[in-house]
Amino acid sequence: MNKKKSISNPVQNGNTSALEKSGGASVLLIYTGGTIGMMQDAKSGQLKPFDFKQLTDQIPELQKFDIKLSSVSFEVPIDSSDMQPSVWVELVNIIKENYSKVDGFVILHGSDTMSFTASALSFMLENLNKPVILTGSQLPIGTIRTDGKENLITAIEIAGAKVNGKPVISEVCIYFEFQLYRGNRTHKFNAEHFKAFQSSNYPILAEAGVYIKYNQSALMPPNGLKLKTHTELNQNIVVLKLFPGITSTVVNAILDIKNLRAVVLETFGSGNCTTEPWFIKSLQKAIQKGVIILNVTQCNAGAVVQGKYATSAELNEIGVVSGNDITTEAAITKLMFLLGATKSTTAVEKLLKTNIRGEVTVL
Ligand code: ASP
């Protein structure tokens, strides 16, 4: 099976009209795969994605919405561990093609790499003035205790929510287990709880109970500008996670990778690293070659403060860029986007220090 070929060719789902309702808002569902649409294979017992028609058959509630639903489904749905930048480009193109036709978008996606996709889309969709809500589930939709139904139904409601004819949300979000998050602030932190995501450094955008309560002051205000899409992504980056005992052989092998453009350096605590001279020298050599080094913390919450401890002061001196409170997921995708958009190392470094889509706190 050629997954990539199928993925790059999403098809309009044959059952679209059965889902349509008149009146209210309109939302396009984009089905990429993930646990929400998986079934247990009878022979192997493994979870495998099944098609969109079977997914919507499991949720008769979708027929009751006063929201006009249409759908696009990948020909071969994927486990999100197979996610690729080329699929992000497909998603951006689907959103661009349908942008003027619908009020909002819901992307059904596996939870494993959902934070990466949400972060990537936030950078690739400049001047987004409509909601793009990613959701999925920890248990398949066909299982009795599934979390998928609530996630999907509320995500659709949020994607269709308007005030005075304008969408309430105008950014890329993740909706999961009663909470709406800014997508590029999230990370998956739990592999088995229904509450699988956290947004440690940014407040929750909305909470769903009897009412959906929006945290107005945390929402990205619409800017009214025309949508601009970016589809050039540069994948010549690497994540280097420090640990006590990491050897110079490993560090140098990574920094010597051919065509390497940037390193997301996962450091300890508030951006600290070993002060061993070989380490600082290796980083300095890479920076002099034009490799960008972005310092992010291994901690789930809090920020890098380069220079707070002596163990990070030297990073400032040699030109390592502080990632402040950005997540690793957002750091990786922001670098892919910036390096795809410009060849200038100085311009990329400047934009890394700038908050461009609500992904980082800049004081
Ligand atoms: N492995 C699945 C995926 O990411 C897990 C999930 O959907 O939650 O596609």
**Three-state secondary-structure class, residue 262:** strand
pTM as predicted: 0.92
pLDDT of 225-239, one tens digit each?
999 999 999 999 999
Is residue 124 a contact partner of residue 230, using CB atoms and an 8 Å limit? yes
Kindly indicate the confidence band of residue 24, based on its pLDDT and cuts at 50, 70 and 90: confident
Reading the block at residue 76, the tokens are 């071969």
Listed in sequence order, the residues at least 6 apart from 241 whose beta carbon sits closer than 8 Å to its beta carbon are 266, 298
Residue whose pair of structure tokens reads 């994605």 in the numeric block: 49
Tell me, what's the pLDDT at 21? 41
User: Would you call 275 a catalytic residue per the annotation?
Assistant: no
Best of 3, 7, 32, 81 for a ligand 1 pocket test (most atoms within 8 Å of beta carbon): 81
State the amino acid at position 121 in one-letter form: L
Question: What class, spelled out in words, does domain 3-229 have in CATH?
Answer: alpha beta
Using the atom order of ligand 1, give the atom closest to the CA of residue 78. 9
pLDDT of 276-307, one tens digit each?
999 999 999 999 999 999 999 999 999 999 98
Using the atom order of ligand 1, give the atom closest to the CA of residue 49. 9
CATH of domain 237-352: 3.40.50.40
Tell me, what's the pLDDT at 141? 85
Residue whose pair of structure tokens reads 């706190």 in the numeric block: 361
pLDDT of 316-357, one tens digit each?
999 999 999 999 999 999 999 999 999 999 999 999 999 999
Across residues 62-77, what is the average pLDDT?
A: 86
Q: How far is the CA of 1 from the centre of ligand 1 (A)?
A: 20
Tell me, what's the pLDDT at 51? 67
Tell me, what's the pLDDT at 42? 76
List every span in the chain annotated with CATH 3.40.50.40. Answer: 237-352
Reading the block at residue 131, the tokens are 């909601």
Q: How far is the CA of 263 from the centre of ligand 1 (A)?
A: 27
DSSP tag of 298 = S
List every span in the chain annotated with CATH 3.40.50.1170. Answer: 3-229
